[in-house]
Amino acid sequence: MVVFEPKIVMFCCNWCSYAGADLVGVGRLQYPTNTRVIRVMCSSRIQPTFILQALKDGADGVLVTGCHIGDCHYIDGNVYTEERMKNVVDAMKLLGLEGRVHLEWVSASEGPKFRETVTEFVEQIRALGLSPLRAE
């Protein structure tokens, strides 16, 4: 049987998570290749619309990462992100796409955490299966 390989859109902020991804690469840590990383300058750049659009265009899951609260390069951008993502996750429950959107803080020094986050999320989406928006 062919294992389902989910397509995941991952947003990384330029200052922490993207550097974290670089650290994983430099450290040669292995992690699943299901993610398509999109670099943004700050996680607060990510509008709820982006996530809905990604799901509509066939992503099975959307993973949003950013700096830890207090570490934001733009002082408090990620505070807005946290609020917005909480709402998007709530909206997903109503839309019947529960568990397909996740927010995680990953700093530039947390290579292993980056790997764990991606691995866990990929497994979570694999268990959920194909997005109902792709099945049609």
Partner 1 sequence: MTNNSNNSQVCYQCGTCIAICPVRRVVKFSPRVAIYDSNIYDTDTDVWDCLTCGQCVTACPQGVRLLDFFLDQRIGGEPRDIVHKGVFTELADLMTQLGNSKTTLLKGDDTAGIGYFPGCVDFHDMFFDLDMDFGEIATSSVTLLSKAGLSPKIMQLKCCGHDQLWQGNQEMFDKLKEENTRLINESGIDTLVVSCAECYRTFLMDYDLDCEVKHISQVLADADLGITNGSATAAIHDACRLGRHTGEYDAPRKAIAATGANIVEMQHTKENALCCGVSSMMNCNDHTKALRVLRMDEAKRTGADVLITSCPKCLAHLNCLKEEEDSEHGHDYPFEVLDLTVYLARKLGGGNGGDGGDGDE
Report the half-sphere exposure of 45 (CA within 13 A, side-chain side): 17
Report CA torsion sign: 125, 100, 55, 17: negative
Interacting residues with partner 1 between 105 and 124 (CB under 8 A): none
The CA distance from 58 to 133, in Å, is 6
Q: Is 47 in the site for partner 1 (CB under 8 A)?
A: yes
Q: Which range binds partner 1 by CB under 8 A, 7-15, 21-29, 61-69, 95-103?
A: 95-103
What distance in Å separates the CA atoms of residue 112 and residue 68, rounded to the nearest whole number?
15
Query: Least separation, in Å, of the C-beta of 9 and partner 1?
Result: 15
Number of chain positions touching partner 1 (CB under 8 A): 19
Write out the residues near partner 1 by the rule CB under 8 A: 47-49, 52-53, 55-56, 87-88, 90-91, 93-97, 132-133, 136
